[in-house]
Structure 1
Amino acid sequence: MAVLGGGPRLIALDVDGTLLQTGYPVSERVADAVRAAVAAGVHVVVTTGRTLLTTRPVLIELGLVEGHALCSNGAVHVDIAKGEPVAVHAFDPAPAVKALRNLFPEMIFAVEKVGIGTWATGASPGEFSIGEYLLVDHGALSSEPTPRLNGWWPAGTLDEMLRLLRCLRMPGASWVHGEFGPWLTVSRQGVTKGWALERLRAALGIPHAATLAIGDGYNDREMLRWAGYSVAMANAPGPILRLADEVTGDVAADGVATVLERWFA
């Protein structure tokens, strides 16, 4: 912890599995710890795979009314005060959809329409009912650039999906898989949480050594590598636990608050 000296000046926080249990509100203790950090002048940056629309309720729960949020794994940079994106890093999803359909003919796809909702080729588990949810065919789904393409393979398992993905080639795009089932998220090549946080850190003029990141998923890998000090939740998978400088309590035990309360009471 000595690397952070008197405390972090930029804190990146994942949402699901970190700030909250999916489907549940942020706990009062975690919200209080985040608000105390903000009151101390720290840049608290919610950094999530969620869309802009599904991130907004979390920002409200935390009482964040200004500053920055990074959604869609860093592809959408949001000005919280305006409630609007200031940067969207989109890509053409058509080549990725074609390549994935060749590997997984039954895969269900969904693309983000920033600030509007989702276009999808079918229903998949865990979808949030915020914004428009429009069922479309593969041609319509692939017709416009998007910051995020999700794929869910209802007939398969995560292990089998990962085995088949070893031969996947998607020029101009990169992907990350989930922890609990056969789904993946595709973004523009090189766009990750860590990439977006480094751009923001440089713009704010904050020393790298004064950055802290807390996360639990495979999409947090680059964010944890980026941070001056990285913390994984106890509920994270093994590779993420081994990557972090520290492991805190799991999300049900308010692990984020346990870390932040060292500086912000």
Structure 2
Amino acid sequence: MRDHRAVTSPTPGPRTPAPSTPAPRLIATDLDGTLLRDDKTVSPRTVAALAAAEEAGIEVFFVTGRPARWMDVVSDHLHGHGLAICGNGAAVVDLHGGPGNHRFVTIRELAVPDALDVVRVLRTAAPGTSFAVERTGGLHHEPTYPPLHLDPGESVAPAEKLLAGDAAVADQPVLKVLAYHPELGPDAFLTLARTAVGDLAAITRSSPSALLEISERSVSKASTLALCCEERGISPAEVVAFGDMPNDMEMLAWAGTSYAMGNAHPDVLTAATGVTATNNDDGVARVIEDILATRR
């Protein structure tokens, strides 16, 4: 199913917890730098906390910038839900089939004309930028795009050719475009790109390198999570969210209760209602345990 409804993402800013917070019905957690330890594993304590939350009737959503094919890292910890928001909100994916057998439930694609406009603008604004195109079927990249995650491209060509109407995979929706710069700092590149691109697309980042993630203008983790919660009759006040990087900020600002990880990017602290321990110190699990303790 393709969902083209526009959902306005909230602007991150200082947060003050509400005096009375409803019991949480959904936990939304980022993966890298948040739920996962630095070695990309999920600790036994975190596995137990997620299972206990679901047993208590609290739904758990993984909300990540990762593509669906990289979700095997949590495939053993799905318990009853099996749904994830991937690609920074570009897709909702059912993971029940296991690695390689995921099913797209919702797709919020980046229109090809907009993707081409973004590539054109960034080539001018930041010479030396290289691009990759993430489609539902896999990654396609330019010859100069670095293998940052050892993820071999399905095809290699200039971005304009990868996005052409006669490309072999033109029937696969574009989930996002990735832009990498070998010399600019990550935050500097993000600021430059957002200024140059304007409202053509949504631009964020989650990598420690100068790698930007570019989606349809209304797409973010927050806007897709809002759609999923609306379908379930869950209000923002009933959501607890966790994150550590700029691509989490809208989600943390939208949720009624939210936590920046102890290892979070400094900007993320302005969007969250609280701070928890680092990802390596089970920050997510600690909060879940506290939530469940108050319900006993």
TM-score where L is the length of structure 2: 0.81
For 1:40, the aligned partner's letter is A
Aligned match of 1:117 in 108, 123, 138?
Answer: 138
Distance in 2 (CA, whole Å) between partners of 1:215 and 1:164 is: 24
Report the RMSD for the aligned CA atoms in angstroms.
Answer: 2.2
Deviations 1:11-32 (A, max 9, x none): 1000010011355211111111
The unaligned stretches of length 5 or more in structure 2 are 1-16, 165-169
One-letter code of the match for 1:85? F
For the structure 1 residues 163 and 193, does the alpha-carbon distance in structure 2 shift closer, same or farther, using more than 3 Å as the test?
A: closer
1:63 maps to 2:85 = no
**Cα distance, 1:252–1:184 mapped onto 2, change above 3 Å:** same
**1:139 maps to what in 2?**
160
Shift in alpha-carbon separation, 1:262–1:70, aligned structure 2, 3 A: same
Give the counterpart of 1:76 among 91, 94, 113. Answer: 91
Contact 1:45/1:69 (CA < 8 Å) preserved in 2?
Answer: yes
Letter in 2 for 1:52: A
Aligned counterparts, 1:44-193, within 5 A: 44-55=60-71, 57-81=72-96, 83-91=102-110, 92=112, 93-114=115-136, 116-121=137-142, 122-124=144-146, 126-129=148-151, 133-143=154-164, 144=170, 145-162=173-190, 164-165=192-193, 167-169=195-197, 172-178=200-206, 180-193=208-221
1:236 Cα shift? 0.7
Q: CA deviation at 1:67?
A: 4.3
Structure 1, residues 209-259: CA drift from partner, whole Å, max 9, x if none? 211101111000110011010111011122211321110001111101110
Where 2:32 maps in the other structure, the secondary structure is coil
In structure 2, the CA distance between the partners of 1:218 and 1:166, relative to structure 1 (3 Å rule), is closer
The alignment status of 1:234 with 2:234, answered yes or no, reads no
1:103 CA displacement: 1.8
Matched residue type, 2:57: G
**Which residue identity does 2:88 align to in structure 1?**
N
Deviates more, 1:84-93 or 1:73-82: 73-82
Question: How many correspondences in the alignment?
Answer: 261
In structure 2, the partner of 1:261 is 289
Identity of aligned residues (%): 33
Specify whether residues 132 and 157 from structure 1 end up closer, same or farther in structure 2 by C-alpha distance, changes over 3 A only. closer
In 1, the alpha carbon distance for the partners of 2:93 and 2:54 equals 17
8 Å Cα contact 1:179-1:218 kept in structure 2: no
Give the AA of the match of 2:74: L
After superposition, the C-alpha distances for 1:162-218 in whole angstroms (9 at most, x for unaligned) are 453364035541211346232211100111111011111110012332111011110
Choose which of 229, 254, 264 in structure 2 pairs with 1:201.
229
Output the amino acid matched with 2:45: R
Separation in 2, partners of 1:215, 1:4: 20
Query: Does the 8 Å contact 1:97/1:142 carry over to 2?
Result: no
Tell me which amino acid in the other structure corresponds to 2:64: T
Q: Residues 3 and 209 of structure 1 are in contact (CA less than 8 Å); yes or no, is this contact kept in structure 2?
A: no
The correspondence of residues 3-18 of structure 1 with structure 2, limited to 5 A, is 3-5=20-22, 7-18=23-34
